Amino acid sequence: MTEAAPARRALVIAHDADGAGCRVEERLTQRGFDVHTHFVVVGDDMNVAMPFPDFDDFDLIVPMGSARSLTRKNEIDTWIHDELDRLADAFAAGQPILGICFGGQLIADALGGTVEVAEVTEVGWYEISAPDGGHNPVGPGPWLEWHHDHIIPPPAAEILAVNENAVQLFRVGRAVGTQFHPEVDHAHLANWLAEVPDDYLAECGVSVEQFLAEAKQHEQANIVQCYALVDWFLDSVGLLAS
């Protein structure tokens, strides 16, 4: 009897305790991946980090979002430069990388782009489209946005989707970065909101009740489009797991 090939391995990098891959991880598992989640920061001190695993042990790297900012690297300098170097090395070695929000910003920074404080903070559900009438491979959404910084893609990047405020999806070789959060569902978002100061969303012009109601309204459609995004990424970079 022929032995089954070992499952491909995906490394999800969660930069915060509530930053796991959620629906992205779910879809990777459904597509036959053995998913390992590495939590970078597990306590209250953002500069006390767990050692990264060896990226070479994985077929796919998925850096997720974070409350941190690449415009203030001095606040996370015990681990951020290590992660950026590892991502650059993984890209050079041909490993596929799917970066989500902060993870997309990491890809941009590691590959010659940069990250800047955004003129417009996006918190809520936004539609995106291809620039210049091109093809947006992941659909218009709406997608959940929650970011204060925005991506300046590397010079070699193909910009696949934007909105009026920011680059939302880009690709460089086998690396893809999003500015939006495809992974969220209502429960995930509720956990995030539980950690937010009471006046934060008010400053952003959003109420907790409105945010959660919209999350519930969009939840099922977002799961479908999240799965489709993961499928598009896997197929386009040649990771044809089941």
For helices 186-194 and 208-236, give the axis angle rounded to 10 degrees: 120
* DSSP string of 59-76, one letter each residue: SEEEE---S--GGGGGGG
Q: What are phi and psi of 33, to 5 degrees?
A: -90, 145
Tokens of 49: 């980090």
Q: Which listed residue (181, 188, 218, 226) is catalytic?
A: 181
22 is catalytic: no
Catalytically annotated residue among 83, 101, 122, 226: 101
Q: Which of 122, 150, 183, 218 is catalytic?
A: 183
User: Using CA of residue 231, residue 236, residue 237, residue 240, what is the dihedral sign?
Assistant: positive
What sections of the chain are H helices per DSSP? 22-30, 80-92, 102-110, 186-194, 200-203, 208-236
- Per the annotation, the verdict on 15 as an active-site residue is no
Catalytic, 204? Answer no
Kindly give the interhelix angle for 208-236 and 22-30, rounded to the nearest 10 degrees. 30
Task: Kindly list the catalytic residues.
Answer: 101, 181, 183
